[in-house]
Amino acid sequence: MFALLSAARKALTQAVSVSGPRAEDPDGISGGVSEHPAKRTGTGRFAARRGLLVGLPAAALLAACTPGGFGGGGGGGPSINASAPVPVALLVPKGSGSSGDAILAASLENSARLAMSQLNGVQIDLRVYDTAGDVATTTSVTEQAISAGAKIILGPVYAANANAAGHVAKSHGINVLAFSNNSDIAGGNVFILGPTFRNTANRLTQYATRQGRQRIVTVYGNTAEGQAGAAAISNAAAQAGATITASVPYEFSQQGVIDALPAISGAAGAGRADAVFLTANAAGALPILTQLMPEQGLDPASLQYIGLTRWDVPAQTLDLPGVQGGWFAMPDPNVAAQFQSRYQAAYGNAPHPIGQLGFDGIAAIGALISSGRSDALGASSLTQGAGFQGAGGIFRLLADGSNERGLAIATVQNHQVVVIDPAPSSFGGFGF
């Protein structure tokens, strides 16, 4: 046990950043629960290293803030001439002085242009504006973009910036497709493209219920992010007809996890639950939880482990004993592989994990413009139920400004990812 515990602690220690994490997005990206490395602050004990975060999926890698949303109802949108090039403003975080932001900005633009090359005659006049990851600069360039004729705003990344862009755009009747996953800023004329905890929790909980796993214990970090993940799981369980039999928090430190183990064992052991749903990711508490929970008698062979985050990244996560046989959600692997291949062929390197959202935004905008309608970029068009085909599969925008993505359910077998329930190819009849 002590050798294994040491290995788990080593994995956690290697993931600790000097700067520590900040309070992250209250909604995670499907698969991830870390903010973008360029925007970390705070003094938490667990944090992902910059290099590790670059390998995480576009799930909760976006910066968190607490800006106000715009309420429901959707933004009306401008009138466009679909037979001429449609001006689209792309707001990227270049100019902040962070190399991470510069890499992300380039990937977002590259992905957007890759999508433009596949629009089959639809003409988009893409105009790129650097926000420097700054609210004041974002406000200024949003005004500039709209004055220059932009019919829709794609971006920015960070939540406070997206909130600022939304306020400016609202007064001009322009909609914003932000790269954030923070549902606090969604609504009105602001739509978020980042995958959310709610989406992931719904998909996994519905699948678990169909498999007879209806008594669930939630284990979450006592942080804003962990609490949001636990709330998403609770809401998903209520909708799916499952029961959260217990919710066990842990302080966001190695000792905090160890101290919570008796409570986790007491809640989930001896047949008191069918499944345990973890909000942790590989950069935080997942290694030590999946190492020590089985040693507490919580056998993954009989108690289903479920992860709110991606358990296939980084690849070393697949070797953790406790993730073997566990379930997690991921984008359609076949569609995602095709995007990765096209991007690699076009630009000679892999896209940033968040970069694919640039592709998704242009794919949606292009599909709508192809209808030829003058109101193609209005709220009712953006939220049409069929959705769009993105870099990781299907997705659609909702009237409340959030989104739904068609996700696959995967497990880990012999240290390999195996899809056990494929991602849907359309939203017709899918259980959202």
> Does the pLDDT value for residue 145 go beyond 60?
yes
* Res 75: pLDDT: 55
pTM for the model stands at 0.84
> Does the pLDDT value for residue 428 go beyond 90?
no
In this predicted structure, which of 41-50, 80-89, 203-212, 286-295 has the lowest mean pLDDT? Answer: 41-50
How far apart are the C-alpha atoms of 371 and 365, rounded to whole Å?
A: 10
H or E element in which residue 275 lies: strand 275-278
How far apart are the C-alpha atoms of 343 and 43, rounded to whole Å?
A: 36
- Which pLDDT band holds residue 261 (cuts at 50, 70, 90)? very high
In this predicted structure, which of 55-64, 137-146, 274-283, 413-422 has the lowest mean pLDDT? Answer: 55-64
* Res 322: pLDDT: 85
* Res 77: pLDDT: 85
In this predicted structure, which of 4-13, 106-115, 131-140, 388-397 has the lowest mean pLDDT? Answer: 4-13
Residue 353 or residue 24, greater confidence:
353
> Does the pLDDT value for residue 431 go beyond 90?
no
Contact yes or no for 142/386 (Cβ under 8 A) = no
Q: Is the dihedral of CA 220, 221, 226, 227 positive or negative?
A: positive
Taking only the tens place, the pLDDT of each residue in 162-204 is 999 999 999 999 999 999 999 999 999 999 999 999 999 999 9
Taking only the tens place, the pLDDT of each residue in 380-406 is 999 999 999 999 999 999 999 999 999
Taking only the tens place, the pLDDT of each residue in 303-358 is 999 999 999 999 999 998 889 999 999 999 999 999 999 999 999 999 999 999 99
How far apart are the C-alpha atoms of 394 and 360, rounded to whole Å?
A: 9
Mean pLDDT of 271-285: 96
How far apart are the C-alpha atoms of 29 and 12, rounded to whole Å?
A: 21
> Does the pLDDT value for residue 7 go beyond 60?
no
Residue 7 or residue 259, greater confidence:
259
- Which residue in the block uniquely carries the two structure tokens 């968190």? 64
Mean pLDDT of 121-149: 98
Mean pLDDT of 214-230: 97
Q: What is the DSSP string of 42-106?
A: S--S----HHHHHTS-SSS-S---------SS--------TTSPEEEEEEE-TTSS-HHHHHHHH
* Res 76: pLDDT: 72
H or E element in which residue 286 lies: helix 286-295
Taking only the tens place, the pLDDT of each residue in 54-77 is 222 333 333 323 334 433 344 578
* Res 26: pLDDT: 38
Mean pLDDT of 4-8: 40
Mean pLDDT of 359-363: 98
Q: Which domains does the chain have, with CATH numbers?
A: 2-54 (no CATH), 86-193+334-401 (3.40.50.2300), 197-332+408-421 (3.40.50.2300)
> Does the pLDDT value for residue 266 go beyond 90?
yes
* Res 299: pLDDT: 94
Three-state secondary structure call for residue 218: strand
- Nearest CA to 272 out of 306, 243, 294, 292 is that of 243
